[in-house]
Amino acid sequence: MMTSNNNDSELYDDVQGDKNDMGIEEHEYDGIKELDNPPPGWIMAIFYLTIGISILYGAYYYWLKVGPNQDEEYARAVEKAQVKYASATPEGVFSLLTDEASLNAGREVYAAMNCAACHGNAGEGNAIGPNLTDNAWIHGCSFDEVFYIIKNGFPTKGMTAFKGQINDEKISQVSSYIISLKGSNPANAKAPQGQPCE
């Protein structure tokens, strides 16, 4: 009713002063007025922040494609898991490689994984690790045995386990490379250790 509405307005006038300062909108329908009641500044700040974040997110993952999408992330996780949980032995899938490309790849693995720190640049051995170029082997000279020792290491004797760092393919390449060094007679070769390879 108009009268009570007027009374309300007077009440506001009495208590709060000018009604426009109160945030009451000018329009009025059937005695109903609208109170403009904006949310507090901090809520608006968070609201605008979420819009800003969504723009950055979209640019990073969708438009500029800097970040990995879920398929790429999945592929990466699978690759990591394969390196980590691949079997300890080659399982017949990997065998001695003799082609030049594989042996070169093995040489690169030898350099990249810093095997030289313990076995010398040419595999001649040093104060830490044994000579890998002679006919004497502590852990056996077959491809599978060499593969196994590189993959699983011998931590109590100072040989690092390389599983979790390189995959089986790389281990088979570096194993083949080492076997190819046999008889290369590098300078400063360390005295033989272990059993002669039959």
Binding site for ligand HEC (CB under 6 A): 110, 113-115, 117-119, 128-130, 132, 137-139, 146, 149-150, 154, 157-160, 162, 174, 178, 194
Judged by beta carbon, residue 24 or residue 131, the one nearer ligand HEC is: 131
| Residue in the structure block whose two tokens are 């398929």 | 71
Q: Are 135 and 192 in contact (CB under 8 A)?
A: yes
Which residue number, 86 or 174, has a Cβ lying nearer to ligand HEC? 174
Report in angstroms how near the CB of residue 78 gets to ligand HEC at its nearest.
24
The candidate with the shortest Cα–Cα distance to 125, out of 72, 184, 79, 67, is 184
Nearer to ligand HEC, 97 or 150 (CB): 150
- Residues in contact with 131: Cβ distance below 8 Å, sequence separation at least 6, in sequence order: 119, 120, 123, 124, 125, 189, 190, 191, 192, 193
CB of 177 to ligand HEC, least distance (A): 8
Read off the tokens for 27: 């329009």
Q: Cβ closer to ligand HEC: 24 or 132?
A: 132
* Minimum CB distance to ligand HEC, residue 103 (Å): 13
CB of 68 to ligand HEC, least distance (A): 29
Q: Quick one: 24 or 149, whose CB is closer to ligand HEC?
A: 149
Q: Give the nearest distance from C-beta 122 to ligand HEC in angstroms.
A: 13
Q: What tokens appear for 151 in the block?
A: 């993959």
Burial of 113 (0-12, 13-18, 19+ CB in 10 A): middle
CB 183 within 8 A of CB 133: yes
